[in-house]
């Protein structure tokens, strides 16, 4: 196991706090990517910038000769959240915040790159992928579309995420699904506005919208197989401006999550049926924009087993959970695992950590050396000890 000096631990914290003070959201990570590229370049890595606009790829070749290549990925973007933490490293950009820990993910991969560059005792090469726009905008998909894996061929790809609620020093590894597919929908219902005292003269968009809000969840609870988790949520309802007018138009927005792709198609089809039927019943026009955003993130079982072995070596087998339920949240690392096998693991951010995307969330600095050691040991196990699955 590598040992990190006091100075190295302090540098990790300093990098993380600097990134946290200067959060940048999707495809705007210019300062972040410049910092990442500058550090990687200072350690002698081959640097490539500009994929997906602000993406950075660093290539490190081992000194032991030819061998396979593996990809290690970290996300760099922040969220549109107003930070409520009163800490010295709080966001200096109002309305933007590292509320998901990507500042920590970036820092841990940087720390691993520094350690491996100082002692590249492995065969083959490591491709360090610093990805923009994980939050909602599919930066992984854009990097792939712009030639990520054609320019940097790898045999496998790996990622991690901090996980509030799990103690620091523990981890979770899934042998299959980890994160759900993520779809969004926007619905506009148009009818005939009228005086609220005379609803019979209009066509009631509000009543129809309310029926949909209460009925759509039944597409999950009453039509889907209970052993195949799925969630359909209406998250935004916009209508009306005053007390005595029935609005001409109502707008709804929402999201759907599941793991099974055939189920995903069925739910979309039934949602379209429900919207069309409700609109017809009330004499309304309906405009539905349904977008399939992220596929489900599904680990390859053999690669997950290797990651679990690394974590067991570092943390103790008893501290690696293998039976936690998959999350209904989503992750665009799924686009990468659709192309190459790999695994996505969770590292505990602390039992008392605020939830992800909460304005009081903060990445736990105690996790930084854990993540660095994990990445370094994984590289050596895969590229030195021949554990990379065929």
Q: What are 250-270's pLDDT values in tens digits?
A: 999 999 999 998 999 999 999
CATH topology of 6-179+296-383 equal to that of 181-294?
no
Instruction: Give the number of C-alpha atoms closer than 13 A to the C-alpha of residue 1, restricted to the C-beta side.
Output: 16
pLDDT at 225: 84
For residue 5, give both structure tokens.
């000096």
Q: Cβ distance 303 to 343 under 8 Å?
A: yes
Q: Cβ distance 302 to 339 under 8 Å?
A: no
Average pLDDT over residues 311-332: 96
Task: Scan for tokens 């619905």, then name that residue.
Answer: 187
Average pLDDT over residues 42-57: 98
Helix (H, G, I), strand (E, B) or coil at 229: coil
Average pLDDT over residues 208-219: 95
For 6-179+296-383, give the CATH class: alpha beta
pLDDT at 1: 74
Q: pLDDT-based confidence at 282, cuts 50/70/90?
A: very high
Q: Which long-range contacts (CB under 8 A, 24 or more apart) does 194-199 make?
A: 194/245, 194/246, 195/244, 195/245, 195/246, 196/243, 196/244, 196/245, 196/246, 197/244, 199/246
Q: pLDDT-based confidence at 227, cuts 50/70/90?
A: confident
Average pLDDT over residues 46-51: 98
pLDDT at 377: 98
Helix (H, G, I), strand (E, B) or coil at 314: helix
pLDDT at 108: 98
pLDDT at 15: 98
Q: Kindly indicate whether the domain formed by 181-294 is annotated with CATH number 2.130.10.10.
A: no
pLDDT at 203: 96
- List, in sequence order, every beta strand (DSSP E) within 101-168: 125-131, 156-163
pLDDT at 287: 98
Q: How does pLDDT run across 96-143, given as a tens digit for each residue?
A: 999 999 999 999 999 999 999 999 999 999 999 999 999 989 999 999
pLDDT at 226: 84
Q: How does pLDDT run across 135-187, given as a tens digit for each residue?
A: 989 999 999 999 999 999 999 999 999 999 999 999 999 999 999 999 999 99
pLDDT at 89 over 90: yes
Beta bridge partners of 286: 189
Helix (H, G, I), strand (E, B) or coil at 343: strand
Task: Scan for tokens 């100075």, then name that residue.
Answer: 7
Share of the chain above pLDDT 90, in %: 96
**DSSP H or E segment with residue 292:** strand 285-294
Q: How does pLDDT run across 60-87, given as a tens digit for each residue?
A: 999 999 999 999 999 999 999 999 999 9
Average pLDDT over residues 356-369: 98
For residue 66, give both structure tokens.
């030819």
Cβ atoms within 10 Å of 17's Cβ, excluding its own = 18
Q: In whole angstroms, give the CA distance from residue 58 to residue 43.
A: 10
What integer best gives the mean pLDDT of the chain? 96
pLDDT at 372 over 90: yes
Residue ranges of domains in the chain: 6-179+296-383, 181-294
CA distances, 98 to each of 50, 103, 169 (Å): 22, 6, 22
């Amino acid at each position: 196991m590598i040992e990190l000096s006091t100075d190295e631990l302090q540098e990790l914290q300093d990098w993380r706090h600097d990134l946290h003070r200067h959060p940048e959201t999707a495809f705007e990570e210019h300062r972040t990517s410049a910092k990442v590229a500058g550090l990687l370049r200072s350690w002698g890595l081959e640097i490539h910038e500009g994929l997906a606009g602000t993406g950075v790829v660093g290539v490190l070749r081992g000194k032991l000769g030819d061998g396979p290549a593996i990809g290690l990925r970290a996300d760099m973007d922040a969220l549109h959240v107003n930070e409520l933490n009163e800490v010295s490293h709080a966001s200096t950009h109002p309305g933007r915040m590292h509320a998901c820990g990507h500042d920590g993910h970036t820092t841990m991969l940087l720390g691993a790159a520094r350690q491996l560059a100082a002692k590249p005792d492995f065969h083959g090469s490591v491709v360090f992928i610093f990805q923009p726009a994980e939050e909602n905008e599919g930066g992984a998909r854009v990097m792939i579309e712009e030639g990520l894996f054609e320019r940097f061929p790898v045999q496998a790809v790996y990622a991690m995420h901090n996980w509030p609620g799990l103690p620091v020093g523990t981890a979770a590894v899934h042998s299959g699904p980890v994160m759900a597919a993520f779809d969004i929908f926007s619905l506009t219902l148009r009818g005939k506005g009228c005086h609220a005292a005379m609803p019979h003269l209009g066509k009631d968009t509000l009543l129809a919208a309310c029926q949909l809000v209460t009925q759509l969840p039944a597409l999950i609870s009453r039509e889907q197989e209970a052993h195949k988790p799925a969630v359909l949520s209406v998250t935004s309802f916009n209508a009306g401006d005053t007390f005595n007018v029935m609005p001409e138009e109502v707008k709804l927005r929402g999201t759907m999550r599941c793991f099974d792709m055939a189920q995903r198609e069925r739910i979309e089809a039934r949602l379209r049926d429900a919207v069309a039927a409700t609109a017809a019943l009330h004499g309304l026009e309906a405009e539905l924009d349904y977008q399939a955003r992220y596929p489900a993130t599904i680990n390859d079982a053999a690669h997950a087993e290797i990651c679990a072995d690394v974590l067991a070596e570092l943390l103790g087998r008893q501290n690696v959970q293998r039976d936690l339920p998959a999350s209904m949240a989503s992750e665009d690392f799924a686009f990468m695992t659709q192309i190459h096998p790999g695994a996505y693991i969770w590292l505990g951010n602390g039992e008392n950590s605020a939830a992800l995307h909460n304005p009081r969330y903060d990445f736990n600095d105690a996790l930084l050396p854990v993540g660095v050691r994990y990445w370094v040991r994984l590289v050596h196990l895969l590229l030195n000890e021949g554990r990379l699955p065929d």
